[in-house]
Amino acid sequence: MSPTFYPPLNVRVITPKLELHGATDDLLAQLLPVVRRGMIGPPPYPFDDPMSLYEESPLRERKWLQAIWRGRGTVRPDTWRLYFVVVLGNRAVGMQDLIGVNFDTFQTVTSFSWLAPDFRQRGLGREMRSAILHLAFEGLGAAEATSEAFVDNTASNRVSAALGYQPNGSDWATRRGEPAVLNRWILRRDDWATTRRADIDLIGVDECKPVLYIP
């Protein structure tokens, strides 16, 4: 899909460490080798069901791409999903998504992300989340951001706690068909504002808003 006709593909979020680029097909193609090799290690598994990244290759790659293409086309005032490729230097190393949840009524967002195995444990997960929160609150006017992670997903839970999210109960989900407990987190706009960063730049957001029904 051409960025000319779908402005979210032109959005960029720039931090001192990395950039988030709207997930064009060219950028997704750069990530295909990572998805093909597989990004899921031994248990504990990080994602709830259903999840294309648990599939065997080449079904994994096809379902992953189809889900992104389908998500681009599912845009309503209450729900939408923006897909970003994480770019480090000139290399695509992962994805960071921003999802509107009843956004027209409550201005709530949540997020989803993954990194190529070779780029984990470098602080990039926190930087990616900081970037997407800046887009949500500063760029799109979100009122609150939520997150969920299995109780044994230490990395994701640490990122949420470090960025000021507050515990917000728990829930159940399945992963690979097995039940497991999720931690729920919430970050309200006023709490984000107390530690908001001044070194994150946004590009192309105003052109994106009408597509998401944001005034």
Give me the number of domains the chain comprises. Answer: 1
Structural domain boundaries, residue 166:
7-212
Which CATH number do you get for residue 34?
3.40.630.30
As a whole number of angstroms, the distance between CA 21 and CA 210 comes to 19
Q: Has residue 2 been placed in a domain?
A: no
Burial (CB count <10 Å: 0-12, 13-18, 19+), residue 74: exposed
pTM over 0.85: yes
> Cα 200 to the chain's mean position, in Å?
17
pLDDT at 3: 61
Q: Has residue 1 been placed in a domain?
A: no
Q: Has residue 44 been placed in a domain?
A: yes
Please report the beta strands in the chain, taking only residues with DSSP state E, as ranges in sequence order: 12-14, 19-22, 79-88, 91-101, 108-115, 144-150, 166-175, 178-188, 201-203
Q: Which two tokens stand for residue 157?
A: 């839970």
Q: Which two tokens stand for residue 214?
A: 């944001």
Q: Has residue 163 been placed in a domain?
A: yes
Buried b (16+ CB within 10 A) or exposed e, 136-157: bbbbbebebbbbbbbeebeebb
pLDDT at 5: 83
Angle at 82 between CA 113 and CA 106, to 5 degrees: 100
Q: Has residue 155 been placed in a domain?
A: yes
Q: Which two tokens stand for residue 57?
A: 């290759």
Angle at 85 between CA 6 and CA 81, to 5 degrees: 50
Q: Has residue 168 been placed in a domain?
A: yes
Which range, of 29-33, 38-42, 82-86, 146-150, averages the lowest pLDDT?
38-42
pLDDT digits (tens, 9 = 90+) for 84-141: 999 999 999 999 999 999 999 999 999 999 999 999 999 999 999 999 999 999 999 9
Percent of the chain residues past pLDDT 90, beyond the cut = 96
Cβ count within 10 A of residue 124: 20
Side-chain half-sphere exposure of 124, counting CA atoms within 13 A: 24
Q: Has residue 39 been placed in a domain?
A: yes
Q: Which two tokens stand for residue 137?
A: 């609150």
Return the closest-CA partner of residue 15 out of 69, 81, 96.
Answer: 96
